[in-house]
Amino acid sequence: MIQVPVPLDTQADINRSHYIRVPDTNCLIAREQALNGYDFNGTLYKAAESKLSMPEPRIFMPYFVNVRQALEGKITLYDGNNKPLAHKEVEELHKTLYSNCRTWLNAKFVKGSGYLDLDLASTRINTETKLSTRKNKNIESTKKITCKEPLKKCINEDNIFVDLVFNPQGLPTRKSEIQEFKMGKNISFYHPRENCVAGFDANPGRVYLDCSRGPQGSLAGVGVFLCAEGTPKN
């Protein structure tokens, strides 16, 4: 029997049919990449304008695996309206995630107490609109909230292929026995470095999880799969 996930309430005003429910979470993730051309911090702030966020690796990498599982008929994916996806829709998701995207992930690696003497920092930008009694107009304010936790053990090598086995932070823990790209079996990986951020790239020849990317710089092809956080409806 297929268990339909509990519907979610979200603060973001979104078209739920354009989003996918990430299994075993209260998160909705966009089907398509958006906000191309901003740097890491700029993307965080632009997403927050719509009460949306950048996905952390702990959300994005399991979702990446889920899409492959759905393509193989092992699980059912649902859109933001809790409607099961047709096989053609899953094929489109798979095509995007496995061969046609370049996106930021919400993880910055800073000096700390974890593996490689690093902490993993994720950032949320909260926006609030209040009525100013003095100026009689709406004033928008933003608040940056950064959460840090010790980096958990992960692969500590560069430009190698790793299996799709991830720690709770969404980072790979097992080197692939096959050191060539096998669609749906492995990805290429670059290990975390201090003051670098995570990014995910996919083209027909290879898929990368890169934790050595600089947060500055903007390229037309780099964007984000926007996320909407939700709470289960009563």
Q: What is the mean pLDDT of residues 62-69?
A: 97
Q: Delimit the domains of the chain by residue range.
A: 15-217
Angle at alpha carbon of residue 213, lines to 212 and 216, rounded to 5° = 145
- Edge to edge, the sheet with strand 158-163 lists 137-150, 118-132, 101-111, 196-203, 206-213, 186-190, 158-163
Q: Global pTM?
A: 0.91
Q: Which two tokens stand for residue 184?
A: 């749906």
Q: What is the pLDDT of residue 1?
A: 40
pLDDT band at residue 2, thresholds of 50, 70 and 90? low
For residue range 71-86, what is the model confidence (pLDDT) as tens digits? 999 999 999 999 999 9
